[in-house]
Each structure stands twice: as C-alpha cells, then as structure tokens.
Structure 1
Amino acid sequence: MTASASRAGIGLTLFLVVGLLTACGLPRSGPNKSEIFAGSVLKSGDAFVVTVNDRVTRATSVVPAFGFGSSFENADILGSDLIAPGDELNMTIFENVRDDPLLGNTGQRVSALTKVQVDGQGYIFVPYAGRLKAAGQTPEGLRKIITDKLSPQTPDPQITVDRLAGNGSTVTVSGGVTGQGVYPIERPTRTLTGMLARAGGVAIEPSAALVRVTRNGKTGKIWLEDLYDNPSLDIALRPGDRIVVERDRRSFVALGATGQQSRIPFETQTVSAIEAIAQVGGLNTNFADPTGVFVFRNEPAEIANTVLGRNDLKGDQRFVYVLDLTSPTGVFEARDFVVRDGDTVYVTEAPFVQWTKTLAAFNGTAVAADSVSGLGN
C-alpha cells in the first residue's frame, strides 16, 4: 500500500468519524444553553425562560406556612388531676349512722368503692347516686356531686375521691422520636414540648423536622424549630392526641455538571439556589458553565402572572429560571432565589467541554487509523 493510499484511508476514516459525530452527537449530561433557550415560548416552545433578578426572587419566594388552628392554640392546660375516660377512681364513703347505713352492712359506717373505671363516655355508676358524669371533673368536683346525690338519703355523708390515671388520659407519640409509645398526661407532660421530652426527644435533624398533632379529626403541623422559637406553639395536650414527628418530605433534583446528580431532600425550612448547589458538592470545576445554572419548575398561575406582569394565564405554567453566577450580582441572586419542592436544578456544561470531547474522539480515531495503516505496511 502506497503512502498516498494510506493517507487517503486515514482521511476517509476521519471523514466518516466527523459524519458519525454530527449524526449521533457526543455524550453529555443534558441540553446546552442554546437548546434550553430554544424551548422558550418566544421561540414557539412551551416554557417561560426568565432571568432571575430581585423582582423575580420576591415574586417566587414561597415557603410552606404551617401552624395550629385556634382549637389547638386556645385550649387551656389541663389540670393534672382532671378525670378522663379510662381513669380509675377509688372512693370512700363515710356515713353518719350505725344501725342502718345506706351502702354498708349494719354497723358498717365506711364503704369503699375501688377501681371504678370511667367508661368511654365519661360516666361512672355509684350506688344510690346513679350514673354520674365524671370525665372533665376534678376529684373534688366529683366528690361534691356524689355528696349532693347521697345527702337526701343518708345524713351528712363524707366522701373522698382518688384518681388513678388510666389509658384515657394518654397521648400517642410516634415517628422520629427516641421512644415511641403511649404516654399519660401528667403534670410535666401537659404541653407539647414536655411530651416530646418525655418520649426521649426528637431523633432526626431538628432543622428538617416537622411535628404533627391530630385531635378530634383535625390536624395541625409546625416546624420543630418554630416550636423552640415561639412559645405560643407549645400547645396544651388533650387525651387522645396523636403526635407524629416526621422528616420534611420536600426534595429537588440536581442534574448536569454538578458534584452529584440525584434527588436531594431539603435539609432546612428554606433552600436557596446557592445552597442547593452546595448540597450536591458545588459546580463541577472541570465541566460546569457558571453562566448556565437553570431551575425548572411548574409555577401556579398566580405566581406566573406576577412574574410576567400578566393576568391572563390559567393553570400551572412551565418556567425555566436562569442564573448567571458570573454576573456582578449573580451569586447574591442565587443566594436569595428560593428552591421549592419538586424543582430541578440543572447546570450546563461549559462550551469547551464538547470541543474537548470532539478532539479526544478525533485523536482516538487518528491513532486507530495509524494503527490500521501500520498493519497495511
């Protein structure tokens, strides 16, 4: 084989490689900036591509607001001796007669009623006094009620009532606490923080922890950190309350030229774009284009209209927010722009990366062609 023929073969091989690269493209992590901008509604696409600035940041800074309703916040702290369904009561009745006592045998002036359980509707039965509403009463209040019922039947009865907390005065604590279980409402555990402490404290990162309380079919939810900061959220508990401590379920997806490509859970109540990038290890210094940081999101119509200065959009709209970290205020804007649940944070590759890949492909092909030429000689 002549040298000219060999060179012709190499040239043909390179020509074929160029054709293949043009047809198939080189491997990459996703679309480039030009392809993303081509999807704009201004270019017959279906997404609004918006550059982030102070106005956009203010319009899109929506953080979930949690709290307890008035039925939770207005509830008074229970007395530590308040009777509830499921409690057990010990009652002693002293009668001021000897020969014919109302409750005891002849000559028996003292009668004991032990382990009288308050039923599910809050009632107890006392002989000759009948069925009485005990739930919601203190032992002293119930003593007066029984005394009034028995006084017309036996002279000057003297009564004592002792309460033993039962399963009716309990709350359930579950989820991300050290000790899940059913706990009685006692003097130290009459409020939410006291009960959480009784359960061993929160076992997950406080910055990502939510506390949910369900009572009579109604549920309130707050951030654990807000509970620490705002004493008014330390609500009084009621028998039957269910307390669940759970990790924040919000997340975003990181793709492209970042240190990690994955679904990332939120670690704090709010996550900015710069924090989201930091959570995945920052920009990949070998590949990332700092002028091409994008946040993909479906915006509700209200926010979409505010961002675009319109009032005609209906339903969720596709948005692509653009951040340029190299601009004079780029890092500040990325620090202030709030990432929301379900967002996709995407960083494009720098233009030279594709050029480097192309050169590497040509170089590998040229080496292979030289090897083939050497075999021919």
Structure 2
Amino acid sequence: MGNVWARNAALFVCVVGLASCDALPRSGPSKSEIYAGSVQREGDAFVVAVDDRVTRATAVVPALGFSSDFTGSGVVGSDTIHAGDVLGVSIWENVEEGILTTAGAPAGLQDVQVDGQGFIFIPYAGRIKAAGNSPEAIRRIITDKLSEQTPDPQVMVTRLAGDGSTVSLTGAVGGQGVYPIERPTRTLGAMLAKAGGVSVPPEIAVVKIIRGTRTGKIWYQDLFEHPELDIALRGGDRILVEADTRAFTALGATGSQTRVKFETQTLSALEAIAQVGGLVSTLADPTGVFVFRNEPAEISNAVLGRSDLVGDQRLIYVLDLTEPNGMFRARDFVIRDGDTVYVTEAPYVQWTKVISALSTTVGAADSLASAATTFPGL
C-alpha cells in the first residue's frame, strides 16, 4: 500500500512539475508570458487590446504617387528632335551638275545622328541646330543654307529613330528593353502596354520611375483608376516594375509558420490568418492572436493616448476572435510590412502534452518494473 501511495505521489509531483516547467515542446510563448513582458509589468513592449479606436489609429496604408514634378510635365511633342535622335535627310537639286547630286536624283544622307550638343552636319550647309526643332523646321534651315549655293533645292527631313528620346523598362514586364518615345507611347500606360504589360498580378504590381535624381512610385492599378497618374514620359526615364515586396511573418498555432508576401494592396489580420491556412483547431487559442510591430512615435502616442513617446515603440496588439466584435475587428485591423502575427496555443494543449509525457514515462517505468520482476538478477 505504501508503495502505491508513494507511486501516486511521485506521479502527482511529475504532473505539477511538467505542467509548470518549460521542458515541454511548444510553438512559442504563452499568452500569460506575453502579458508578463508588457511595459505595464515592467517589460519593454506595450500590450494593447484592439478596439475600434486602435483600428482607426493604426490604419496606415503605404502612400504611393507621383510628385508635381511628374504630373505637371506635358506630353513631349512627337516632332521634337532631341540629342541622340537619328534623322534621314534627302536633297534634290534642279541643275544637272549640282553640289551634292544631279537633277532628278536625290542625295540621301541616311543615319544623320544629332550630336550631344544638339547639332547635325550637312555638307555645304554646315552645322545646324537640330535639337529642339521639328523635322519641318530643320528642313527650312537646310533649304535656306543650300539656297545660297544651288538654285531652289528641295529638302526632306524624317526622323528615323528616337535614340535621344528613349526610356528603359526592366523588371516584371512582358518585354524588357529600351523603347523610343513615339506618338502612341508618350505616356506611362501606353509604354507599359507596348512592353507587353506587367508579368506579375496587377493588384500587387508597383511601377517605379527614376527621372534624374527624382523618383516616383505608384500601384499599377492606379494607372486605370486615377488617369492623372498616367504621366507623360521624358527621354532617359527608367521604369522598373516589380511585385510588392511587403511581407509579414506568421508564427504559432497557424496553418503554416513562414514569411508571407502580401497578395493585396491592403491586408487585414483576418486575411493574413487565412492566407497561412487559418488557425489550427486542435492547437490555437482564438483569444490569443497577437500582432508584434515597431510602431512610429506618432502612431504610438495616438494608440496609447500619450504625447511623450519619442522614436519607434514596440507594440503588441491583441485580438480576441471570440468577442462579439472580434471577427469584425480582425477584419478591420490592417497588417503592415514587417509585422509578426503570432497565435498562442490553447491552455489545454500543454496539459495534453503533460499527459502524453506521463503516459510515456509510466509505460517505461512499468516496463522496467516488469523486467526486474522477471529477471531478478538484473
């Protein structure tokens, strides 16, 4: 009898010891441990329960758009010549022995490139300012210059290529390369269409333009929803299309524990949980959904009702999905780049692990006792 009492007492000690220690495996800290690390309990993070006020204060979506430097630029005239452009010049003369050709046969000067200073050279006409002029204006200048040396010259100037008015497209587009700015492709949307469109889902495609020292960035979909963002292009623009790089990390009792990229421009806590497979029904505690974030001082002060905080603050937002408005709040709470979404395990899970560990321990002990009885000499 004494042995049975001692055995039961030992089992009780094991149960209490296993339940209270950290020896059992688990996916992360418990809800009580997170609360224990709060500023309110002399920790270093503010633990905040999410309500409608907190949701409004933290609903910050990345603002993308073009400055007035981009939106205020007019469309480049398709006839304006720029440095680097290539021209074709044809000249007819009305004399049998002209300075450049014979009567009826044109003198064709192909691939005449505008130099870095904006000039071209035409024999007997000299250096002519081409950049900033239209082909028609250049034709008149050449005609006037040649008229001093040959009677009634006929001149035709055409633009062969727009090397000086090109843009480069890279990244997630149908066809990367260097494209001339032509009449149909003088705006951003038209140029992207010529390049084959974007090769990533449109809802997460970001279009970035680098123009000299200035940079602008917009969502691809905004080109169609906000026509004023379909800006006029300039020679030398560099256009980069890439998928949204924002991501959050999911840990704890969720369907998967991994780093997850955003699939939409805005992402709620409820959508983030769904994106990783939802809560594991046999493990998750729906009252313990936490979002860890480094929050700017401006938002931290608004959330906490203070005005003295300076610099980024560690905030832990708590969502209780079992509350009457819990699912609505999770639907409205916005997840941001770099967030960690952590779901704690339900309390009974640890007890299940304790019982499992004890069953294994008792089974092993019984096996050893049986072996000792069977083989007393061991």
TM-score scaled by length of structure 2: 0.90
Query: Per-residue displacement from partner, 1:91-123 (whole Å, max 9, x unpaired)?
Result: 233456667x5x437979964433211123322
Q: Which of residues 79, 88, 91 is equivalent to 1:90?
A: 88
1:182 maps onto 2:178 in alignment: yes
Cα 1:49–1:23 shift into 2, 3 Å: closer
Tell me which residue corresponds to 2:376.
Answer: none
- 3-state SS in 1 of match to 2:142: helix
Q: Distance in 2 between matches of 1:243 and 1:278?
A: 34
Tell me which residue corresponds to 1:28.
Answer: 26
Query: Per-residue displacement from partner, 1:318-345 (whole Å, max 9, x unpaired)?
Result: 1000111111111111111111111100
Tell me which residue corresponds to 1:286.
Answer: 282
Cα 1:367–1:185 shift into 2, 3 Å: same
Cα 1:158–1:213 shift into 2, 3 Å: same
Deviates more, 1:77-86 or 1:270-279: 77-86
Tell me which residue corresponds to 2:355.
Answer: 359
1:218 maps onto 2:194 in alignment: no
Q: Which of residues 30, 43, 46 is equivalent to 1:45?
A: 43
Q: Which of residues 100, 105, 114 is equivalent to 1:104?
A: 100
Tell me which residue corresponds to 1:323.
Answer: 319
- 3-state SS in 1 of match to 2:355: helix
Q: CA deviation at 1:6?
A: 7.6
Query: Per-residue displacement from partner, 1:25-82 (whole Å, max 9, x unpaired)?
Result: 3111111111111111111111111111111111111111111222222222233343
Give the counterpart letter for 1:251 in structure 2.
A
Q: Distance in 2 between matches of 1:369 and 1:36?
A: 36
Amino-acid identity (%): 63
Q: Distance in 2 between matches of 1:125 and 1:254?
A: 66
TM-score scaled by length of structure 1: 0.90
Q: CA deviation at 1:238?
A: 2.1
- 3-state SS in 2 of match to 1:168: coil
Q: Which of residues 306, 310, 313 is equivalent to 2:309?
A: 313
Counterparts of 1:150-299 in structure 2, within 5 Å, are: 150-151=146-147, 156-299=152-295
Q: Distance in 2 between matches of 1:164 and 1:11?
A: 96
Tell me which residue corresponds to 1:346.
Answer: 342
Q: Distance in 1 between matches of 2:92 and 2:181?
A: 31
- 3-state SS in 2 of match to 1:320: strand
- 3-state SS in 1 of match to 2:221: helix
Deviates more, 1:231-240 or 1:152-161: 152-161
Q: Distance in 2 between matches of 1:63 and 1:198?
A: 31
Give the counterpart letter for 1:294 in structure 2.
F
Tell me which residue corresponds to 2:139.
Answer: 143
Q: Distance in 2 between matches of 1:47 and 1:348?
A: 17
Q: CA deviation at 1:85?
A: 2.7
Give the counterpart letter for 1:366 in structure 2.
V
Say whether the 8 Å CA contact 1:17–1:365 is kept in structure 2: no
Cα 1:351–1:171 shift into 2, 3 Å: same
Q: Distance in 1 between matches of 2:348 and 2:158?
A: 83
Unaligned ranges ≥5, structure 1 = none
Give the counterpart letter for 2:220 in structure 1.
L
Q: Distance in 1 between matches of 2:246 and 2:292?
A: 16
Cα RMSD over matched residues?
Answer: 2.4
Unaligned ranges ≥5, structure 2 = 374-378
1:79 maps onto 2:77 in alignment: yes
Q: Distance in 2 between matches of 1:105 and 1:264?
A: 70
Q: CA deviation at 1:161?
A: 0.8
Aligned residues: 373
- 3-state SS in 1 of match to 2:231: coil
Q: Distance in 2 between matches of 1:49 and 1:185?
A: 54
